[in-house]
């Protein structure tokens, strides 16, 4: 009942404020869209219903962190896709294709190619070695307290940065949709995600992701078909129209492309120099393999076979989705850019910013009803991704820091779960605060930063602990910390934070993506300090590699699925 009253309180707040804003503050280009609001409420009601159901089935820590281990490969594949196809992907990538053309595809490819590598080198190993978090794998051989603490730090940094990107997307979307102020939208998203995670745990989070993945794939398919239908499915005509669209566009971004004589069907301004291109490529590919909320998904299936099937399905869904965003981005150049309904010609910008390209595309191809549907889907997308992130962050606090680092693994499950719920609340509040601070940043770019940390801090110690016999606690600790500290330092000193956020005149670090430097530092650090480590502890850790390998390869001794 408490949950229901919270829901109705939230609903009344939302209704009141959207009404108030429609009356006195909404801009003419953001009229109140009743279809969108109704669909949004249906989604929220259904997902809160699922949360209620999931809460009644979430009794043990295994239920809370891993949905009891009973998710199938197909379900998990969809949920992974749901976790991965964020608002930053949907809105940000289609916006990037819309504004810059081919550069958007470079991002998409980088986001996708990490998946086969995860499958070949990590998916089954994660399932066989871990229980709830990726730190379980690293601490199979290595010393619990320092390794858990470092992994938790890496997790929290990745989660918070990724959360900011999602929050920014949420704020922009709901502002355009409801005419709500940005800050208000961010608070609503934050509140809902806290409810899902704290009450429904991994089971609710998984089903929110599955539903969202199906809705998003369906919606994006329809937009892409609509775009291609406009040119009678003539691909040549489609790209020709996009080219003409850019040339005749009244948008400042497109005018700049024309003035700079840029080819929208070739790599452009996104990657300005070779170092940046390679660095971005490394961050995207290996970052995926170090994202804690993604890694956590492998603990929700029963065995290695289901784990590998999950990745196969996920790669298919995600690859298909990225091809759709490419079509949607160029489709928006053809259908959205020339239409004064979507464009503020006086300012030379798209209403609501470039991130709204996909949303306007929905209206251009399917009218008000479809706009409502896609807006609700985009909102669902954000909620699903932030929930997965919050759960991963909360698990790092409760399972890694509290239960293992502080209490040495001897802890009452109920206390651990309570800590996790409190952590979800705190992370939610931090995400709301930072989401508001980072309002003006490009969301896809923010995700790039999260990936750099995942690639430089989490991925090196994880992959080395699985495959390299000689890795020791000391090596992992120094290498991982070097990766984490160098990434954060370089990101803070780069243009994105140092200039755009902190207001300094010039960036102290010249590259946007630090991965090429920070990953190298992390690997060299791990290798060097492990090699130099001849302590008794190091010998023990190396001796444990053989049993770890056996469990890794065969699954003998792995935590199985629970019985219910």
Candidate list 1, 2, 8, 266; residue touching another protein; CB under 8 A? 266
Residues 67-106 touching another protein, rule: CB under 8 A, are 102, 105-106
Least separation in angstroms between residue 117's CB and another protein is: 6
Residues 531-560 touching another protein, rule: CB under 8 A, are 544, 546-551, 553-557, 559
Handedness of CA 81, 84, 88, 92 (dihedral sign): negative
CB neighbour burial string for 304-322, b if at least 16 within 10 angstroms, e if fewer = bebbbbbbbbbbebbbebb
Residue 386 to residue 435: CA distance in whole angstroms: 12
DSSP for 382-435, please give it.
Answer: HHHHHHHHHHHHHHIIIIIIIIIIITTT---HHHHHHHHHHHHHHHHHHHHHHH
Task: With contacts defined by CB under 8 A, name the span among 19-27, 309-317, 381-389, 491-499 that binds another protein.
Answer: 309-317
345-353 long-range contacts, CB within 8 A, separation 24+: 345/250, 347/252, 348/250, 348/251, 348/252, 348/255, 349/251, 349/252, 350/98, 350/251, 351/29, 351/30, 351/176, 352/29, 352/30, 352/172, 352/175, 352/176, 353/95, 353/172
Please, are residues 454 and 165 in contact by the beta-carbon 8 Å criterion? no
Please, are residues 374 and 358 in contact by the beta-carbon 8 Å criterion? yes
Task: With contacts defined by CB under 8 A, name the span among 55-63, 212-220, 269-277, 519-527 that binds another protein.
Answer: 269-277
Which tokens belong to 218? 């369906």
Per rule CB under 8 A, is residue 113 in the interface with another protein? yes
Task: With contacts defined by CB under 8 A, name the span among 247-255, 264-272, 376-384, 420-428 that binds another protein.
Answer: 264-272
Task: With contacts defined by CB under 8 A, name the span among 4-12, 194-202, 232-240, 292-300 that binds another protein.
Answer: 232-240
Least separation in angstroms between residue 369's CB and another protein is: 31
Residues 436-465 touching another protein, rule: CB under 8 A, are none
Per rule CB under 8 A, is residue 247 in the interface with another protein? no
Please, are residues 362 and 219 in contact by the beta-carbon 8 Å criterion? yes
Per rule CB under 8 A, is residue 340 in the interface with another protein? no
* Nearer to another protein among residue 18 and residue 89 (C-beta): 89
Residue 441 to residue 461: CA distance in whole angstroms: 30
Burial of 543: CB neighbours in 10 Å, binned 0-12, 13-18, 19+: exposed
Residue 293 to residue 396: CA distance in whole angstroms: 10
Task: With contacts defined by CB under 8 A, name the span among 320-328, 356-364, 432-440, 497-505 that binds another protein.
Answer: 320-328
* Nearer to another protein among residue 347 and residue 540 (C-beta): 540
Least separation in angstroms between residue 23's CB and another protein is: 47
* Nearer to another protein among residue 113 and residue 422 (C-beta): 113
Task: With contacts defined by CB under 8 A, name the span among 3-11, 237-245, 356-364, 522-530 that binds another protein.
Answer: 237-245
Residues 15-44 touching another protein, rule: CB under 8 A, are none
- Look at residues 474, 465, 488 and name the one whose alpha carbon lies nearest to residue 534: 474
Per rule CB under 8 A, is residue 311 in the interface with another protein? yes
Per rule CB under 8 A, is residue 305 in the interface with another protein? yes
Q: What is the DSSP letter of 338?
A: T
Per rule CB under 8 A, is residue 239 in the interface with another protein? yes
* Nearer to another protein among residue 72 and residue 276 (C-beta): 276
Candidate list 152, 285, 336, 490; residue touching another protein; CB under 8 A? 285
Least separation in angstroms between residue 141's CB and another protein is: 7
Q: Per DSSP, what are the bridge partners of residue 349?
A: 344
Largest CA distance in the chain: 72
* Nearer to another protein among residue 367 and residue 547 (C-beta): 547
Per rule CB under 8 A, is residue 150 in the interface with another protein? no
Q: Which helix (H) or strand (E) holds 147?
A: helix 144-178
Size of site (CB under 8 A) for another protein: 65
The H helix count followed by the E strand count for the chain is: 25, 2
Least separation in angstroms between residue 132's CB and another protein is: 11
User: 3-class DSSP state for residue 71?
Assistant: strand
Per rule CB under 8 A, is residue 527 in the interface with another protein? no
Least separation in angstroms between residue 81's CB and another protein is: 12
Candidate list 90, 115, 199, 545; residue touching another protein; CB under 8 A? 115
Degrees (nearest 5) of the Cα angle 502, 507, 512?
A: 100
Which positions from 118 to 147 touch another protein by CB under 8 A, shown as an x/- string?
Answer: -xxx--x--------------xxxxxx---
- Look at residues 170, 122, 216, 209 and name the one whose alpha carbon lies nearest to residue 454: 122
* Nearer to another protein among residue 243 and residue 501 (C-beta): 243
Least separation in angstroms between residue 330's CB and another protein is: 10
* Nearer to another protein among residue 197 and residue 270 (C-beta): 270
Residue 462 to residue 151: CA distance in whole angstroms: 9
User: 3-class DSSP state for residue 343?
Assistant: strand
Residues that bind another protein (CB under 8 A): 102, 105-106, 108-110, 112-113, 115-117, 119-121, 124, 139-144, 235-236, 239-240, 243, 263, 265-268, 271, 273-278, 281, 285, 305, 308-309, 311-312, 315-316, 319, 322-323, 326, 409, 544, 546-551, 553-557, 559
């Amino acid at each position: 009942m408490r949950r229901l009253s919270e829901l109705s309180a939230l609903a009344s707040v939302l209704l009141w404020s959207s009404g108030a804003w429609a009356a006195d503050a909404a801009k003419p280009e953001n009229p109140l869209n009743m279809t969108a609001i109704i669909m949004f409420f249906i989604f929220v009601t259904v997902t809160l219903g699922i949360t209620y159901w999931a809460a009644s089935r979430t009794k043990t820590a295994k239920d809370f962190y891993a949905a009891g281990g009973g998710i199938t490969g197909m379900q998990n594949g969809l949920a992974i896709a749901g976790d991965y196809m964020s608002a930053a992907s949907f809105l940000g990538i289609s916006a990037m294709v819309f504004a810059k053309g081919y550069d958007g595809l470079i991002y998409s490819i980088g986001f996708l190619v990490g998946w086969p590598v995860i499958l070949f080198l990590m998916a089954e190993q994660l399932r066989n070695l871990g229980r709830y978090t990726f730190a379980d794998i690293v601490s199979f051989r290595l010393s619990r307290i320092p390794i858990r603490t470092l992994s938790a730090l890496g997790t929290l940094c990745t989660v918070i940065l990724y959360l900011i990107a999602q929050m920014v997307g949420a704020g922009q979307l709901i502002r355009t949709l409801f005419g709500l102020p940005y800050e208000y939208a961010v608070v609503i998203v934050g509140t809902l995600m806290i409810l899902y995670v704290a009450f429904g745990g991994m089971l609710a989070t998984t089903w929110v992701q599955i539903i969202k993945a199906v809705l998003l794939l369906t919606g994006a398919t329809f937009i892409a078909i609509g775009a291609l239908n406009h040119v009678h499915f003539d691909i040549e005509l489609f790209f020709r129209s996009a080219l003409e669209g850019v040339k005749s566009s009244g948008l400042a971004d497109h005018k700049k492309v024309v003035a700079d004589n840029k080819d929208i069907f070739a790599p452009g301004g996104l990657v300005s120099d070779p170092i940046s291109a390679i660095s971005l490529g490394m961050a995207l590919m290996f970052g995926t393999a170090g994202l804690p909320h993604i890694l956590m998904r492998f603990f929700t299936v029963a065995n290695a076979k289901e784990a590998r099937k999950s990745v196969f399905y996920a790669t298919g869904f995600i690859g298909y989705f990225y091809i759709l965003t490419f079509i949607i981005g160029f489709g928006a150049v053809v259908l959205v850019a020339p239409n004064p309904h979507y464009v503020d010609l006086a300012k030379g910008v798209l209403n609501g910013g470039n991130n709204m390209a996909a949303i306007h595309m929905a209206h251009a191809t399917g009218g008000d009803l479809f706009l409502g549907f896609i807006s609700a889907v985009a909102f669902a997308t954000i909620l699903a991704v932030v929930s997965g992130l919050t759960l991963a962050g909360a698990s790092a606090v409760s399972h890694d820091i509290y239960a293992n680092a502080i209490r040495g693994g001897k802890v009452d499950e109920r206390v651990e779960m309570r800590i996790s719920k409190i952590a979800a609340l705190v992370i939610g509040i931090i995400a709301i605060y930072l989401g508001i601070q980072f309002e003006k940043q490009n969301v896809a770019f923010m995700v790039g930063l999260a990936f750099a940390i995942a690639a430089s801090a989490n991925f090196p110690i994880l992959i080395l602990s699985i495959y390299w016999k000689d890795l020791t606690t000391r090596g992992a600790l120094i290498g991982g910390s070097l990766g984490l500290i160098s990434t954060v330092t370089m990101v803070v000193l780069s243009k994105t934070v140092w200039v755009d956020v902190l207001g300094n005149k010039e960036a102290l670090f010249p590259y946007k993506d630090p991965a090429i430097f920070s990953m190298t530092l992390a690997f060299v650090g791990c290798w060097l300090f492990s090699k130099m480590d001849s302590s008794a502890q190091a010998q023990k850790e190396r001796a444990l590699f053989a049993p770890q390998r056996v469990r890794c390869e065969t699954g003998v001794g792995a935590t199985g699925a629970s019985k219910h």
